[in-house]
Amino acid sequence: MADLSTSIAGVALPNLFFNASGVWCQHESELKELLDSESGSLITKSATFEHREGNPSPRYVPLPTGSINSMGLPNEGFEYYLNYAKNYDYTNKKPLFVSLSGLSLQDNVKMVEQFAAADLPCVLEINFSCPNVPGKPQLGYDMEAMENALKVLAPIVKKPFGIKLPPYFDIAHFDAVAAIVNKIDNLAFVTCVNSVGNGLAIDFETETAVIKPKDGFGGLGGAMILNTALANVNAFHRRLTGGKQVIGVGGVTSGKEAFLHVLAGASAVQIGTQLKEEGPSFFARVKKELEEIMQAKGYKSLDDFRGKVKTL
């Protein structure tokens, strides 16, 4: 039998798959469904300091090759997720990840301080890449602000933690971001990629943008971003030092794309659009498909092929 187990930031996952933050994880009822699924872990919706309703609907629409969203960070406020993390049963085999996305560095500091004070075994993923809050550019595209934020937050978190990055499209940007990440000792992983920001989907018949917020501009996800995701996973896998890891996300609709993410260097794989469309039963399917691929190729564990993509 193929072994799909992995570990992230020193924490063991029974298999490499979990949800991308934002999908199936705003409310406890959804998190419960993830717990009941065959996912290897789960992560909560990115939290802001205060509860947010998010942007007006329609704000998520599936497309023929993926999805577009401008949810606008709807979430229950960080105390809800802090309480969830306090009450979480850590004897459960699935470790818990918590996503934080403060609207300012001060908000991130306040939230991280409270998580640090609670000293919980959950792992923080700080979101530097929400593309959908009007008037708030993504931190991940401002190298100076990102380095400053990491230098402030990392000593407060103390434990190993991760950041969610936007996709980059230039080798100079891969170099610059990796250099920043490599300077932060307890930054244990980067999650690549958040949605490809500010796409526009237009309905041909009605000649109208398909989502309402931001004149129809929103983050793209699903099959159409697979190759951008693979490039970002591989670019960071090649550049990160000191055992830092990459979590792959983007374009996984079956075991085949999950296999490609690991080949590119992913240590775990998150699922966004496909989970939203297919529901948590997707985890059983993708696990089975990846196991079958590994068996057919003679790989027994993820280590056998992680990062081993060949080049010409």
Handedness of CA 180, 134, 171, 239 (dihedral sign): positive
Which of these segments, 28-36, 63-71, 178-186, 301-309, binds ligand RRO (CB under 6 A)? 63-71
Tell me the CB-side half-sphere exposure of residue 47, using CA atoms within 13 A: 30
Give every CB contact of residue 66 below 8 A, 6+ residues apart in sequence: 220, 221, 222, 223, 224, 225, 251, 273
* Residue 310 C-beta: closest distance to ligand RRO, Å: 32
Which of these segments, 65-73, 79-87, 114-122, 149-157, binds ligand RRO (CB under 6 A)? 65-73
Tokens of 40: 């290897």
CB-nearer residue toward ligand RRO: 126 or 293: 126
> 123-162: which residues touch ligand RRO (CB under 6 A)?
127, 129-132
Residue 194 binds ligand RRO (CB under 6 A): yes
Q: Give how many residues touch ligand RRO by CB under 6 A.
A: 16
**Catalytic position from the list 25, 122, 130, 192:** 130
CB-nearer residue toward ligand RRO: 246 or 294: 246
Which of these segments, 68-76, 228-236, 258-266, 284-292, binds ligand RRO (CB under 6 A)? 68-76
| Cα dihedral 241→309→8→156 (10° resolution) | 40
The correct pick among 37, 38, 39, 72 for binding ligand RRO (CB under 6 A) is: 72
CB-nearer residue toward ligand RRO: 213 or 265: 213
* Residue 218 C-beta: closest distance to ligand RRO, Å: 7
Residue 26 binds ligand RRO (CB under 6 A): no
> 155-184: which residues touch ligand RRO (CB under 6 A)?
none
The correct pick among 37, 39, 191, 195 for binding ligand RRO (CB under 6 A) is: 195
The correct pick among 31, 61, 71, 294 for binding ligand RRO (CB under 6 A) is: 71
The correct pick among 69, 108, 245, 253 for binding ligand RRO (CB under 6 A) is: 69
The correct pick among 102, 160, 219, 248 for binding ligand RRO (CB under 6 A) is: 219
CB-nearer residue toward ligand RRO: 160 or 250: 250
* Residue 77 C-beta: closest distance to ligand RRO, Å: 14
CB-nearer residue toward ligand RRO: 199 or 265: 199
In this structure, are residues 147 and 111 in contact, taking their beta carbons and an 8 Å threshold? no
> 238-297: which residues touch ligand RRO (CB under 6 A)?
none
* Residue 288 C-beta: closest distance to ligand RRO, Å: 28
Catalytic residue check, 25: no
Residue 44 binds ligand RRO (CB under 6 A): no
Other CB atoms within a 10 A radius of the CB of residue 123 amount to: 22
Site residues, ligand RRO (CB under 6 A): 22, 46, 69-73, 101, 127, 129-132, 194-195, 219
Residues noted as catalytic: 130
